[in-house]
Structure 1
Amino acid sequence: MGTGNIGKLALLTGIMKNSRSLKSKFGFQNGYFGKRGKGRKSSTRNIPSKNPLQTAKDFFDTLVQDAAREVLKNDNGEPYGFRVDLPDGSIIIFRPVSHSADKSPAISIDTKSCRIEVDIRVQKIHFTLEVPLT
């Protein structure tokens, strides 16, 4: 039984390949990046950074590589983020300004529809301002 053309493309350009360098850099453990947020859901994660927006952009660019990006627009037609559907079926959404109280940049990772087995769980990552130790 072969993987077929879609399976081969998913392996070459999907979330598993694109996330390799992110896993060591952003504390990947038990299928999640970063640390658990203060909310009730364990799938809400935080990654602190001195420059949260730039870190979020770099994370997103690495995760989606050169995939086509769909601009997300609100009801007024104003852009508020980007959506990428990777060939393996995973969906990545980047919002430079989230709905959270601190308006931190956020990335949602949805692997429910992945056509290959992945070790990355469904999660939302907020890129928060790193508080320096005094």
Structure 2
Amino acid sequence: MEHQEITKLVGISANTLRSYLREYKEGGIEGLKELHFYRPSSELMPHAESIESHFRKFPPISTNAAITAIEELTGIRRSPTQVRIFMKRLGMKQSTWPIYSTISGVPDSAKNVPKTCDLGTQADTKSSAAPPEAA
């Protein structure tokens, strides 16, 4: 049977058929069963252990601080988005990066201040004002 007929019957392209035939010649039926998906990996992954141990000792204050530290440790510079994704893979979500723990000179009392501030709503601020005087 010709290749052109096979591609029409099976519904694949000629390139796919040639690829299948090459895989069959190299590995038989077992070679055809193997999946060969391209999965790119980060250039930072070989350095993951050293980066993680560094960040466990010296947590970054911000994404930019993490970018700088990674570049100093590995010589590899990545965008803020890529660094956040990498940090998440290490199990360090940005919301858990400590704010005050790495800043020297911050008084202990400031370290215990909540990191969020509830300013209330406009309704709350209006209700706390003195009632208008009747004329």
**Same topology, TM > 0.5:** no
The TM-score with structure 2 as length reference comes to 0.28
Q: Which has the higher contact order (CA 8 A, sep 6+)?
A: 1
TM-score (norm 1): 0.28
Higher-Rg structure is 2
More helix per residue: 2
Whichever structure has more strand as a proportion of its residues is 1
